[in-house]
């Protein structure tokens, strides 16, 4: 879950978006984005789809990046 949190925050910052910007683009609450980014909430598949779209990439690409981060962190 930590790898997902790091990827979402890193991508958001790379796109120069605030949590408020991302929340608005995904039709989610800003506090929920914050909780995801600090690995305190596990998003559902439907939320992951919204986040991927809001972060301008597809869910498969997002999950590949998360997996790459996870593998680096676990070694």
Q: What pLDDT, on a 0 to 100 scale, did the predictor assign at position 58?
A: 95
Residue 12 belongs to domain spanning: 2-73
Which position has the token pair 């930590």?
A: 2
Question: How many other C-beta atoms can be found within 10 angstroms of the C-beta atom of residue 3?
Answer: 18
Say how many CA atoms lie within 13 Å of 47 toward its Cβ: 14
Q: What is the CATH number of the domain that holds 17?
A: 1.10.260.40
- Please state the domain count of the chain: 1
- pLDDT tens figures, 22-40: 999 999 999 999 999 999 9
| One pLDDT digit (tens) per residue for the chain, 75 residues | 899 999 999 999 999 999 999 999 999 999 999 999 999 999 999 999 999 999 999 999 999 999 999 999 888
């Amino acid at each position: 879950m930590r790898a997902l949190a790091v990827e979402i925050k890193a991508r958001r910052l790379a796109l120069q978006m605030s949590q408020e910007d991302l929340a608005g683009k995904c039709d989610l609450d800003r506090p929920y984005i914050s909780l995801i980014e600090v690995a305190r909430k596990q998003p559902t598949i439907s939320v992951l789809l919204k986040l991927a779209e809001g972060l301008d990439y597809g869910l498969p690409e997002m999950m590949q990046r998360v997996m790459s981060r996870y593998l680096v962190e676990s070694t």
